[in-house]
Structure 1
């Protein structure tokens, strides 16, 4: 009888611990780094790395990332950022550019797997049709739970943005019930139809809708951190980091509590 009671107690305790750890709070940054240069085209990739190291967030979604491009000193920018921050990194190429590649990046405090470069619609350039990257990966937390982390950069014209929003929703549905965090420069204000479309599946984490562009005297919000609505328990905090001037955009930070 004593052994049975002990077993019941242990099982009950384990269930209690599991219930207490059901939700997970993660800190996330979204940042368009302007090919690792400030608004005056002075290279700043090392400063971006030091800034991210200082904040010690769990996940970072980056847009306008160069890899071995002439304009940014033939630097593998994601490798530099990974070395400075000690985080896991992934790069997704939009297209070849200036002797290298131009695209998106992910940084994660957790191991990354199933890294995907899904292709979304882009406007034709000089008659040449191009697609862009929707970069995402599975981040595995220390207890084995998984999330899909993604970043994207939308077009400037509204018809293309609408197509891109539809495609993003379709691609990110593939992971079923696990939480999805989407970051990006969406080139659209919060009342834009493309943003409203994304909110069919995602919730904005920055309720105050702080302006993120341009870097000085920002007058519009075009950068976002979103979480799959069914997995967002609460937002612990969100703010535009308006003291960081390493790009022509300002970085956006959110702390989100996920439910699994």
Structure 2
């Protein structure tokens, strides 16, 4: 009888320990969600406005390195132009100086070279795309372009990251934003878009884009001019909204390297 009682106590102890173990397992902290740091920066062809005609690629690279972004959208990028130095591909050089991958999309011929937008990526670029944005022939305007890359930010998790620079004239900006929305409306992959939109938050263009993308900020800090900035025209947007969560949006107070302030956004990947 005594032996049976001992066995009974032992079984109770084992069962209690097993239940305790299950409870610990259920309450273990889950792995932290992945975050992305994304930057958009109009680099003024690496020409500091206060430095005359000087081209200072290192100054732009220094700003980027300090923020340690995973993805960067660059506008006003020179490749082999006379003003920036024949043989200087600014997109490639910035990639080298920051240790990132790059993709450049030409918008126009300029001074014997190319001028457009580019993206930098900490992740290898799996695929890339570029397309021209429309310009109304009656009102004219500078040709604009879109650069997009597909990257794998974690195992099995791919996204599209794009960059653009919309025209100065609103009718062109409207049609350009409509084309961008149409291009990605049926995308199977999440999309992050950075750029200089040449449009304020309450403009027709941004209000339209807000219907299809989530802007990282609604009350956005100004990005131009670099001294006493008074308006925001540089933004980062994403879709679908349930894929990302904005953790922070910061405008970096860097007044030397360009005529725009860079925007840095931290996103949580849900």
User: What TM-score range do you get, normalising by the shorter chain?
Assistant: 0.7 to 0.9
- Does 1:249 find its partner at 2:242? no
Structure 1 runs of 4+ with >3 Å offset: 123-127
Q: What TM-score does the superposition give when structure 2 sets the normalisation length?
A: 0.83
Question: Which residue among 90, 94, 102 is the counterpart of 2:115?
Answer: 102
Q: Can you give the 5+ residue segments of structure 1 that lack an aligned partner in the other structure?
A: 1-12
**8 A Cα contact 2:102 2:118, kept in partner:** yes
Cα distance change of structure 1 residues 123 and 245 upon mapping to structure 2, 3 Å threshold:
farther
**Greater CA radius of gyration, 1 or 2?**
2
8 Å contact kept, 1:124–1:130? no
Whole-angstrom distance in 1 between the partners of 2:209 and 2:256: 29
- Equivalences for residues 33-112 of structure 1 within 5 A: 33-40=43-50, 41-74=53-86, 75-112=88-125
- Normalising by the residue count of structure 1, what TM-score does the alignment of the two structures yield? 0.86
The residue aligned with 2:160 is 148
- In structure 2, distance between residues paired with 1:131 and 1:57: 28
**Structure-2 separation of matches of 1:196 and 1:143:** 35
- Cα RMSD after superposing both structures: 2.3
2-structure distance, mates of 1:29, 1:233 = 15
Structure 1 residues 166 and 54: CA distance shift in structure 2, 3 A: same
Q: Distance in 2 between matches of 1:26 and 1:256?
A: 5
Unaligned runs of 5+ in 2: 1-24
Cα offsets for 1:14-60 (capped at 9, x unmatched): xx99x846x53100110000111112343221111122122211000
SS at match of 2:254: coil
Secondary structure in structure 1 of the residue aligned to 2:184: helix
Report deviation, 1:130.
Answer: 6.6
Provide the aligned length of Structure 1 versus Structure 2: 242
Equivalent residue number for residue 206 of structure 1: 217
2:10 corresponds in structure 1 to none
